[in-house]
Chains A and B, each alone.
Chain A
Amino acid sequence: MNATNGKVPLLVQAVVKRFRQGNAYINALNGVNLSASTGEFIAIMGASGSGKSTLLHSISGLTSIDSGHVLIDGVEISGLSDSELTRFRSRHIGLIFQAFNLIPVLTAEDNIRLPAVGSSGLDARVDALLDRLDLRSRRLHKPDALSGGEQQRVAIGRALVADPAILLADEPTGSLDSGSSQEFCKLMRDLCNEQHRTVVVVTHEPTVAMWADRVVVLQDGVDVGSFATDGLHDPQTISSGYQNVLRGISKEAAKCH
C-alpha cells in the first residue's frame, strides 16, 4: 500500500490478453494476478513465451487487455482514452526499456526532462537526478556519445523525473555488461530502500532477480507462484527457488536451500 495515500501502487487482477495467430487465438496472459506494495522490488521471471513481457506491456498500458483489471495507484487504466493514458503514463509510470530507447537528437539532460516538460520544480529534480545518476558531466552529450551504462542511467533518469508511482523495466540489463548490470540493479535497490519506489523488473537473469524482494514466476501466461528472496544476493538461490516454484515445491522448502 502506498503509505501516503492508502492506495496500492500496483494491482493486477485476472488479466487476460489474447493475440491472434492466423485463424487461432493464443492467450498470452491467462488470468494473471499480481500486486506490489510501496517500496517493493518485484522481479518477474519465466521462460521465453511465458507472457512476462506481455504482462509488463499490459501493466504500463502499452497494450490493452481483453479482460481483468490493472490499477496503478488506484486508477483503473483500462478505462482511460489514449490521450488520458498517455498523460497518466508520463506522470505515474516510469518505463525503462532494454534498448534504452533514448531520443537521439536530444541531449542526456533533455532526454531526462522529456516526460515532465512543463511541470513545476522540474529543473531541481533534473539536477538532483543528474547528480544521483552521476551524469552531470555528460548532461549535454547526445546518446551516440554515451556508453551503454550511461545511456541506461539516462533512461532511468527519464523514468524517475516525473516521480512516478511505479517503475517498470523490461529486461533492462539485456544490453549491458555484467558490471553495468549489477550497478543498475544496485541502483534499483537503492531507489526502493531510500525513496520507497515500487519497482517491477522483467528478467530471465537470476543475477538481476536476486536484488528483488520477491520473484513472481510466470508459466504459459499464468502466475504459478512466487517466493521471497530474503535479501540473499545469491543467484543460485534464485535459480533454485525458480525451479522449485515450477516443480510445485512449497515456499518453505525452497527457502531452506
Chain B
Amino acid sequence: MSLVVKLAIAFLREHPIRIVLTSIATIASVCMVVWVASNYDTILHSYDVYANKTFGCYPLSVAPISNAKDEGVPIEVMEALKADPDVASIEPMWVLRALVRSVNPPNDGASGSSRSGSKRERESERSPESTVLALDIADAPFAMLRGHWITPRNSDAFETVVSVCAAKRLGVDIDQDVVVDRGERSYRLRVIGIMDSPSVDVSYGSQMSILTPGIGDLYVARATAEKLFEHASRISFLAVALKPNRDLTAFRFGWAPRLSGFSVPVQFQEASDVEEALCETSEAENVKLQAFAATGISLLVALLVIFSTLSMGASERVRQFAILRAVVFTRSKVALMIAFEGLILATIGFIGGMCLGYLLVMMSKGATEFFQQGFRVGFNTFFLAALTAYGGALLSALVPVYRAIHVRPVEAMVPQIQLSNAKGTPVRLVVVGFLLILVNPLLTFVFPPKYGTGVLVTMCIGFLSMAVGFVLIAPGIVVFVDRVISPLLGRMLGIEPKLLVYQISSNLWRSVGAAISMTIGLGLFISIQVWGYTMLDAFIPGPWVPDAIITFSPFSVPLKDAATVAEFPGVDPNRCVPLVVEQPRLLNDITNSAGRASVTRQDNVVIVGFDSKRAFGGDHPLLDLEWVQGSPDQAMPIIERQRGCVVPDHFLRETGLKIGDSFSLVPPENPGSPVKYVIAGAVKIPGWHWQTKFTGFRPRTHRAAALIFADYSAVTKDFDLRGVSHVWFFYGPNGADPDRLAASAQALFSSVLHREVAIGRSQALPYVRVVPVENLRRSLLVNARKWLWIISQLPLIALAVACLGVLNVIIASVRARRWSMGVLRAVGFSRGTLVRAVIAEGLLIGIVTCLLSLGFGILAGWCGCGISQYLSFFGGLHPSLVIPWYPILLSLLGTLILSAFTAVWPALSIGRSEPLTLLQQGRSAF
C-alpha cells in the first residue's frame, strides 16, 4: 500500500500546475456548496433556537390536532389538566389576526414597493396582518426589554405589549400608539412594553401549526381582545407549567391518550415538535432544495475537472501502467493508485473549500444582518461539501481506472508511437445520443405523463436521458467543430488550417470532458433563461391589455357615472369601457381541476362584462386581439343575444370545448341558479393571470382557469351586480398622469358614495386604484429578471470554475505537442502563429461548449415548461416557446471570450520558447 501511495503522490507532483488548477477548481466548487448549504444550517439553527425559546417559561402547550380555524381547546381540557397534581399552572391563550399599523408609518419603505398604482397609492400601502395574542397572565412570558407587562383582565386599558420584531417592523416604541383596523372601525392601543419574544422567518400559515406563547406580535388582555374583536374569548391553546422536579416525559405520555379523546382532540407540543414542524415548512424545504441543487451542480463540476486531470494522467501514463503491470502491480493496485490520486485532489479541495467558504460566509455582512443568530456552518454543510469533493473524485476516477486496469502488461514492449488515440468519428455514439435526446420531448409532449408519481418518473427519465444523450453526442460535436469550424477559424486567425486539423479531436475524451464541464454551467444558464422567459410570457400582460384600469372597491359605480371616466384628463374617450367583473365557479369540473394538482382551485373563471361592440368592434376596439377561433363580427351577435362569451385559446385546449359549446357558471350570490354561456370565439390573451391578479379581477379566490369576456347586461343580471367595478381605457395621444387620474376617480367615487374615499387599498374606507399596465409589466419584468439572475448565478460560477479544467486540458495538450511545435518553429512557423493556434484550441473548445449548451439549454428549457404544466400552480398555461436571445447570445459570447482567454497563458508560454528547447523537451517526455 505504501508503494501505491508513494507512486500516486509522485505522479501528482509530476504536474504541479495541473494539480494547482484542479485544486483551485475543486476548492471553488466546495466553496459554492458551503456558501449555499450554510443557509440551510443557519435556518435549522435558527429554528432550534426559536423552538427552545418560544414556549417562554412554559415547557408545554396544548392545542387542537386539527388546524381548522374555528376549533379551540375545549374548556374541559383545561379543567382536567388543572386537577393534575403535577401541574403548576395552566394559562389559556387566544390567537387572533388583525391589520395593525403604526400611527406614524416607518420611512424605510418596510411595506415594500407596489407592483401597480400611482405613487400616492404606493405610499398608503398597509402593513401585513399581525398576530395578536390575548392572555391574562401576571408576568410576561419573556424578558421585557423596555416598559412593563399588561394588566390582566383589565378591559378598560387599551394597552399592548409588542414583540421586539413587531416593534421594529411597525416602527413603534413604548408610549406610542398602534392602530388595529377591524373593518370600518379602528382601535388605538398604547404600547406599554417591548418584549424580547423570539421570532422565526416562516409564513404565517406555517406558524399557525405551532401555537406557543412566542408567536404573538402584540400581547393584550383577553378582555381587551374581546372588545377589539367583538367576540367572546376562546382558547386557541393552553400553556402548561409543571411543578419543579416533575418528569415532563412521563407527564406528557401519561396524558397523551386522554387528550385525543376530548370533544376536540388536542395534543401536546413541546420544543422538539416545534422544531420538527418548522423543518417541514416550505421555507426550510426551499433552502434545502437550494443546498442540494448547489451540491449537484458543484459535484458535477468537481467531477469533470478531476476527471479531466485523472484522465489526462491515465492517457499519458499508459506505458507506465504497462510497466507496473509487468513488473509489480496487480490490476487492483493500479486502480487503487488512480483512486488515491483522486482522493488526494478531493481532500485538497474539501479542506480548502471548507476554509474559504467558511471565511466568505463569516465575512458576509448581509448574511449576519439577516440571521439574528448569525451564520452557521454545520453538519449539513460539512456533509454536502464532502459529498461534492469526495463523491466527485470517486466518480471521476471510474473511467480512468477502467482504462488503466485494461492496459495489458505486454504494451510495455510496444513502441510508443503505437499508443496514440484513434481519430475516427464515433458514429454509433452520436446516433444513440440523438435517440436519447429525443426521449425527453417525446415523454413531455407526445406521451404526456399522468399526474402524481408519473410526472416525477417522466422528469427523471426524460432529463437524465437527455443529459446522457448530449454527453454521447459531444464527441461528434468535437469532431464536427474540428473538421468544419477549425478551418474557418484558422482562416480568420491567419493560421494555416492544416495546423488546426485534429487539434481538439486528437485527444477526444479530454476535449469532451473540458467542453462538458463548461456545458454544465452554460447549459443550465440557457435553460433557466428559456424556461423563465417562456413561463413569463404566460404571466406578463401582453400587448392586448389597455393602458390602464381604474378599480372601484368595495362598492360599484353606476354605469352612467362610470362612463364619465372617458372625460378624465389623458383618457382616450374612444377606447374607454366600463366593466363588471365576477369570479363564479364552474358548475362542472370541465378543467378536471379536482384530479390535477397543478390546476387545483382552477375550478372557476373571471368573467368580465362590457359593451362588446366597443370592446371588439368598430374602428377603435378596446381589445385588439388575435382571434384563434371565430372573429369579432361572428362573436358579437352571439355575445349580445345568446349569452355568448369569448374565451382564451388554452381554455378550449384544457376543456376540450369548441365554438358553439356551452358551459355553466354558478353565481356566488345565487348558487342554486347556474347560468349557461355559449362559446362565441377564442382569442390569445397572454398574461391575463397577472393582469387579473393585481387589478382586483379576482374578488373570490386567488386562482382562476380563464378570463372570459361577455355582455355587460348579461353578466350584471346573471351575477346580481349593482354597477361598474372597473373601467378599462387607453391613454390619449399625449399620455396621462396616473396620479391625476386617481384624483379624478377619487372625486367621482366620492361623489357617488357621498363619503370619503381613499386612493390605494384601504381596509377602513372605500378606495380607488389606478393600475397602469406598463407599471405592472415593468415591475413584473424587473422582479422576474432579478429572480432569474439570482438563480442563474450558480451556473455562471460553475462555468467560471470549469474554465480551470479547460486550462488544464490546454496545458496538457500543449505539453504533448511540444516536440511537434518545435519542429514547426524550426521549419519556419512564427511564434505568433503558434500562439494563435493555441488560442484557437481554446476557442474551439468554447465553440463545442456553445453548441452543446445551446442545444441542451433550449431543449431543457422547453421541456421544463412542458413538465411545469403538471407542477405547482402552472397547470393550464401552455406558453409558447420564447428564446431570450439577448442574454443567451451574451452568455455565448462571454463563454467564447473566457475560453479564448483561458488559452492565453499556455499560448504565450509556448510562444516564448525557443525551437531547440521545444524539440529537446518534447523528446525527453516519456
A253 to chain B, nearest CB (A): 36
* A158 neighbours in B (Cβ, 8 Å): 327
B8 to chain A, nearest CB (A): 10
The answer to whether A63 and B331 touch (CB under 8 A), given A103-B7, A105-B14, is no
The answer to whether A144 and B924 touch (CB under 8 A), given A97-B412, A101-B412, is yes
Q: Which residue of B lies closest to A83 (CB)?
A: B330
Q: Is B232 an interface residue (CB 8 A)?
A: no
The complex places the Cα of A83 from the Cα of B335 at a distance, in Å, of 13
Contact B11 A63 (CB under 8 A): no
Contact B3 A104 (CB under 8 A): no
Count of chain B residues with Cβ under 8 Å from any Cβ of A?
Answer: 29
The complex places the Cα of A83 from the Cα of B405 at a distance, in Å, of 12
* B323 neighbours in A (Cβ, 8 Å): 97, 101, 103
* B331 neighbours in A (Cβ, 8 Å): 82-83
Query: In A35-72, which residues have CB < 8 Å from any B CB?
Result: 53, 57, 60-63
Query: In B1-17, which residues have CB < 8 Å from any A CB?
Result: 2-3, 6-7, 10-11, 13-14
Q: Is the interface of B mostly helix, strand, loop or mixed?
A: helix
The complex places the Cα of A62 from the Cα of B924 at a distance, in Å, of 27
The complex places the Cα of A101 from the Cα of B6 at a distance, in Å, of 19
* B409 neighbours in A (Cβ, 8 Å): 61-62, 86
Q: Is A186 an interface residue (CB 8 A)?
A: no
Contact A95 B924 (CB under 8 A): no
Contact A114 B328 (CB under 8 A): yes
A contact residues, range = 20 to 34
The answer to whether A104 and B926 touch (CB under 8 A), given A62-B409, A170-B413, is yes
Q: Which residue of A lies closest to B320 (CB)?
A: A103
Contact A87 B330 (CB under 8 A): yes
Contact with B along A121-163 (1 / 0, CB 8 A): 0000000000000000000000010000000000000100000
Contact A117 B413 (CB under 8 A): no
B330 to chain A, nearest CB (A): 4
Contact B413 A90 (CB under 8 A): no
B265 to chain A, nearest CB (A): 67
A96 to chain B, nearest CB (A): 11
- Which of A57, A103, A110 gathers most chain B CB within 10 Å? A103
The complex places the Cα of A104 from the Cα of B330 at a distance, in Å, of 20
The complex places the Cα of A121 from the Cα of B761 at a distance, in Å, of 93
- Which of B2, B7, B332, B926 gathers most chain A CB within 10 Å? B926
The answer to whether A63 and B410 touch (CB under 8 A), given A101-B323, A105-B11, A117-B2, is yes
Q: Is A26 an interface residue (CB 8 A)?
A: no
Q: Is B683 an interface residue (CB 8 A)?
A: no
B717 to chain A, nearest CB (A): 90
A50 to chain B, nearest CB (A): 16
Q: Is A106 an interface residue (CB 8 A)?
A: yes
Q: Is B18 an interface residue (CB 8 A)?
A: no
Q: Is B324 an interface residue (CB 8 A)?
A: yes
Contact B2 A86 (CB under 8 A): no
Q: Is A189 an interface residue (CB 8 A)?
A: no
The answer to whether A53 and B413 touch (CB under 8 A), given A105-B13, A105-B14, A144-B924, is yes
Q: Is A235 an interface residue (CB 8 A)?
A: no
Q: Is A214 an interface residue (CB 8 A)?
A: no
Q: Is A197 an interface residue (CB 8 A)?
A: no
* A103 neighbours in B (Cβ, 8 Å): 7, 320, 323-324
Contact B328 A83 (CB under 8 A): no
* B415 neighbours in A (Cβ, 8 Å): 99
* A53 neighbours in B (Cβ, 8 Å): 413
The complex places the Cα of A58 from the Cα of B729 at a distance, in Å, of 94
Q: Is A115 an interface residue (CB 8 A)?
A: yes
Q: Is B689 an interface residue (CB 8 A)?
A: no
The complex places the Cα of A103 from the Cα of B10 at a distance, in Å, of 10
* B7 neighbours in A (Cβ, 8 Å): 103, 105-106
B317 to chain A, nearest CB (A): 9
Residues of chain A having any CB pair with chain B under 8 Å: 53, 57, 60-63, 82-83, 86-87, 89-90, 95, 97-99, 101, 103-106, 110, 114-115, 117-118, 144, 158, 170
Given contacts A95-B326, A103-B323, A117-B2, 14 further A-B contacts (CB under 8 A): A53-B413, A57-B410, A60-B326, A62-B412, A86-B328, A86-B329, A86-B330, A86-B409, A90-B328, A99-B415, A99-B416, A101-B326, A114-B328, A115-B328
10 contacts between A and B (CB under 8 A): A62-B408, A98-B413, A103-B7, A105-B7, A105-B10, A105-B14, A114-B324, A114-B327, A118-B2, A170-B413
